[in-house]
Structure 1
Amino acid sequence: MSQNFLLDAAKKYFTAGIVGLTISDRYASFTAVRGPSMSPTFNPHINSSTRSSFDDYVLVEKFCLDKYKFSRGDVVIFRSPSDYKEKHIKRIVGLPGDWIDLPSLDDTVRIPVGHCWVVGDNSACSLDSRSFGPIPLGLICGRVTHIIWPPHRIGGVNKKTNAFA
C-alpha cells in the first residue's frame, strides 16, 4: 500500500511540476529585481552606495512575445547581448525606426528594424542601450506588469516615458 501511495504522490508532483513549468515558460513568471539601476520604480530603498537583502519581486507576462508587441514605457526583462546567461530589466524608450539622441556622444542613432532602445530609470548606475546599443527584440523574455513583493508596494508598474538623461 505504501508503494502505491508513493507512486501516486510522485505522479501528482511530476504533473504539477510540468504544468507549473509550462505556465512559467509560456504565460507568466515571477522574478527578483536586484540592484539600483531601475530605482525608484524598483528597489527604491537602494542607492548606488548601499546594498540591501530586500529585493522587489515582479510579475513578468509573456503574451507580448507572441508578436513582439511593445510600447514606449514598457519595462522588460531581456538577455544581455554580450552574455546570454545574464538577464537585465530596463524600460523601453525607443522602438524600431525611432531616432535616439545621445547627448554624451553628440550623436543621433536610428533604431533598426527588430530592435529597441532600453534604459534604466536610474541612469547614473545603469548598464543599458547607451552601453551596448539597441537590443534585438528576440532577446526580450517578457514585460513586467506588477510588483508583487514587498506587500506595501504591491501594484501595477508605471509606464512613464520621460527621456533618459
Structure 2
Amino acid sequence: MVSRGLLWFFTKRTATGALIGLTISDRYASIVTVHGHSMKPTLNPGSKAFPISISGDLVLVEKLCLNKYKFSHGDVVVCGNPNNHKQSLIKRIIALPGDWIRIPETYKIVKVPEGHCWVEGDNYNSSTDSRSFGPIPLGLVKGRATHVIWPPQRIHKLDRRMPTGRISLI
C-alpha cells in the first residue's frame, strides 16, 4: 500500500517535470518527426531503426531564432502550412524579405514581401511549397531544424544549403 505522503511527493515531482518540459519545448527546443518526401535526401521519412520504429527522422528544432526572426538563406525550418493551419511543414528557406526569387519552371521573378520568406523542399519534384502557395509569413515559422537526432546512424548537423542561381539581383 502506497502512503499519501509518497503519492503526493511523486505527483508534485511529475507535475514539476511536466511544466519544465513544456516550457523548454515551447520556448527553447523541441523534437519533430519528419513525414513526407519533400526534404529527401536531407531528411528521410519512413526510416526503420532498431530498437524502435519511427515513421521518419527525428530532428531537433531550436526556437531561440524566433525572438527576432533570425533566419538565414538555406536554414531548414518547421512552419505552419498556410493552406491548412493544423499541418506543419519542414522546408528550406530560399529567400528572405526583400529578395527577388527566380521560379525555374515558370521563369517568373517574384519579390518576397516584408515579413515573409520563400520556402522550398530539397526534393524539388515532390514538394508542396512556396512555388504552390507563395511566400509565407514569418509568423508561421515555428523554429529552425538544427540536427537529425534519430535514427542513430543518421545523427548529423543540418547544413545550410542554397540552390544556385535562384536569388536575383534585380
TM normalised by structure 1 equals 0.91
The answer to whether structure 1 residue 67 and structure 2 residue 100 are counterparts is: no
**Equivalent residues of 2:45, 2:57 under 8 A apart:** no
Paired residues for 1:83-122 under 5 Å: 83-122=84-123
**Cα offsets for 1:82-139 (capped at 9, x unmatched):** 1111000000010001111123233211000000000000011101000000000000
Moved over 3 A (4+): none
* AA matched with 1:147: V
Tell me the matched-pair count.
160
Give 2:50's aligned residue.
none
Are residues 11 and 21 of structure 1, via their aligned partners in 2, closer, same or farther at CA, if it must alter by over 3 Å? same
Percent identity between matched residues is 54
* Residues 44 and 19 of structure 1: CA distance in aligned 2, closer, same or farther (over 3 Å): closer
Q: Structure 1 unaligned runs (5+)?
A: 47-51
Letter in 1 for 2:113: P
Note the alpha carbon deviations across 1:25-49, whole angstroms, 9 max, x for none.
0000001011110000001778xxx
Matched, 1:156 2:164: no
CA distance in 1 between partners of 2:41 and 2:134 (Å): 23
Q: Equivalences for 1:2-41 in 2 at 5 Å?
A: 2-41=3-42
Measured on the aligned residues, the alpha-carbon RMSD in Å equals 1.9
Preserved contact between residue 93 and residue 163 of structure 1 (Cα < 8 Å): no
Secondary structure of the 1:14 match is helix
**TM-score, normalised via structure 2 length:** 0.89
